[in-house]
Amino acid sequence: MITFDNVTLIYPYVQRTIFENLSFEVPEGEFVLVMGDTGAGKSTLLKLMNGLVPHHTGGIFSGTIKIAGRDTALHKPRELVDLIAIVGQNPALGFVTDTVEEELVFGMESLGISPEVMRKRVEDTLDLLALAPLRNRTLASLSGGEQQRAAIASVLTMNPKVLLLDEPTSALDPIAAEEVLATLSRLVHDLGITVIIAEHKLERVLQFVDRVIYVEDQNTVSIGSPEEILKESAIAPPIIQLSRALHSSEIPMTVRDARRTISHLAQDISPPERKAVAPSASEVLSIENLTIRYGEKVALENISLSIKSSEIVAVMGRNGAGKSTLLTSMVGLREIAKGSVQVVGRDPKRLHGAALISAIGFVPQESGDLLYAQSVAEELENSDQDNYVASGTTEQILRKLLPSVDSQLHPRDLSEGERLCLVLAIVLAKKPSLLILDEPTRGLDYQAKERLIKAISEIVSENTAVVIASHDVELVADIATRVVVLADGEIVADGEVSEILTSSPAFAPQVTKVLAPARWLTVSEVLQSLGEKNT
């Protein structure tokens, strides 16, 4: 279906080649995963397939790419729409029209498909993706998962043979992600469409895929069955790490496989005791009976929460449950209808300038929002000035998080993970008592996640309290001490991390699922116990 023959790609003004002499083939009707570190070129690989690279982006390109026999060098992306379709990282930015139904016909109208065929295809696609009840809704009012499905539907109406998706689940909660992936899997099995997705959260997708393309760096791209690739790959989801930790020769792809093949290996070890936060710790954040409304809509209802120093609290819940509202209200960015928020005994709304940043450090969802300088060096300098700290302080913190980064680079040219480190360094320069992170793992690879986890555990040892909103159960299992679950603006659960995560199937990390009923959370716990047993 897709053939790459000696493909080389170089962007002008960039020292390294993006790809060199790449050759591989993807057969028809397969579910293919493209994996690799951030910045390795996963998105570029997808865009090469439908011709957006180099037709739209520029760059020096050699070799041939053929999609069902059609050469992408000779056809513009718009002339390939009947063969290959792409859904971008943030589908909301790519919507052209207002409502779901109009979005579905946008492409077909350009192609000149007759109205009768259009009517029929719209109905078919709406049914296929379970969008029929949403057909007249405006796109902006849809939830993240629904938007993703609408974006998929809007390209499916053109009857493509290949569907490309760039991180389709990175912004979604576990349930919505599952829904989208199940839909994709149905497209592969029922319609014989070839689906190719790039994704970081391997634990979510691995169970569905037939083949993996592993982009290690520009010269080494390997392709094979998931078992072959994951046997040795540097990046692996928890389930594979667990099997490696237990010295099993099996490579389980699904929780079911793992329960059958490797769970017995962990029978004679038991989960470690988790220590609770010392009762003497002082209270950093206290929220009492907080209610926040947006117009008529109640975003948060009667929330009470108290967080002590050295605690790491994860806030979880569906998209739109009120997580971001809760977090932003902690920095005083929201109008409070009722109740109060106090950070180290003061109302955050009244804090400004240096007083605010020494009390609270906030990393927003789009961490790049906090950056505005033209280079990393300038950004660090600005931060020292804004924070009234000795010059070089911010840089010192950054070097600890990220030893090698070119300080002449523009912040927008950094990878997602590097940018997060830079923002963290700036926010931490003043040593805030409370650190708040909104969805920090969006677009982060395992390596960057590890770096983040290390940074956070260091901060906590200096008595800072941390609040994290996240969909990433594996991250939460790794670092949080306490979990607060929100649903429709109310707290539905609040407790110790192992208690909350092991009791709910939606929030359980892979290791928990495999080794249930014993209360394990992470691979590192298993490794630790194994080490103790052997000594």
Partner 1 sequence: MATVIVTLSRKTDDPWASALSIGIKIATFALLIRMVIAIIFSVPGDGRVLFSLPKVKLPEWLAGIFLGGDVTQERLYFVFIETLTIFALVVTIAGASSLANPKQTLRALPGVLHEAGVALIIATTLIPHFVTSIKRIREARKLRGDKRRFSFKRSLVPLFEEALERALVLAESMESRGYGYRATTDKKNAHSVLMLIGITGVLIAVIQLLTNGAFRLTLILSIGFLASGLVWANNENSRTRYRPLPWRKEEYLVLASSALAVIFAHFAFNPFSALVLFLLCSMPFFVTKKTVMAA
CB nearer to partner 1: give 362 or 446: 362
**Residue list 35-54, contact with partner 1 (CB under 8 A):** 50, 52
Taking each helix axis from N to C end, the angle separating 393-401 and 376-387, rounded to the nearest 10 degrees, works out to: 130
Q: Report residue 464 CA to chain centroid gap.
A: 25
Distance between CA atoms of residues 270 and 516, nearest Å: 12
C-alpha separations of 33 from 18, 71, 304, 407 in Å: 19, 23, 43, 33
Minimum CB separation of residue 99 from partner 1 in Å reads 8
Q: HEC string of 420-461?
A: HHHHHHHHHCCCCCEEEEECCCCCCCHHHHHHHHHHHHHHHH
Q: Using the rule CB under 8 A, give the single segment among 98-106, 446-454, 479-487, 508-516 that binds partner 1.
A: 98-106
Nearer to partner 1, 70 or 231 (CB): 70
The least CB distance from residue 511 to partner 1, in Å, is 35
User: Could you say whether residue 59 binds partner 1 (CB under 8 A)?
Assistant: no
Nearest to 315 by CA among 503, 472, 510: 472
> Could you tell me which residues are beta bridge partners of residue 438?
469
Query: Number of residues in contact with partner 1, rule: CB under 8 A?
Result: 60
Of residues 324-363, those binding partner 1 (CB under 8 A):
328, 331, 333, 352-354, 356-357, 362
- According to CB under 8 A, which residues from 104 to 143 bind partner 1? 105-115, 118-119, 122, 136-137
- Footprint on residues 148-177 left by partner 1 (CB under 8 A): 154-155, 158
Number of H helices, E strands in the chain: 21, 19
Least distance to partner 1 from the beta carbon of 115, Å? Answer: 6
Question: Is the CB of 319 or the CB of 382 nearer to partner 1?
Answer: 382
Q: For residue 387, state whether it binds partner 1 (rule: CB under 8 A).
A: yes
Rounded Cα–Cα distance for residues 412 and 374 (Å)? 9
Task: Mention every residue, 6+ apart, whose C-beta is less than 8 A from residue 134.
Answer: 100, 142, 146, 150
Scanning 222-230, 268-276, 370-378, 398-406 for contacts with partner 1 by CB under 8 A, the matching segment is: 370-378
Rounded-to-integer distance, Cα 444 and Cα 138, Å:
30
**Which amino acid is located at 212 in the chain?**
V
Nearest residue (CB) to partner 1, 119 versus 260: 119
Which range of residues in 250-258, 274-282, 383-391, 446-454 is near partner 1 by CB under 8 A? Answer: 383-391
229 or 343: CB nearest partner 1:
343
Backbone CA torsion sign across 71, 76, 77, 83: negative
Residue 81 within binding range of partner 1, rule CB under 8 A: yes
Give the total residue count for the chain: 535
Instruction: Write out the residues near partner 1 by the rule CB under 8 A.
Output: 50, 52, 55-56, 76-79, 81, 85-86, 88, 90, 93-98, 102, 105-115, 118-119, 122, 136-137, 154-155, 158, 328, 331, 333, 352-354, 356-357, 362, 364, 366, 369-372, 383, 386-387, 412, 426, 430
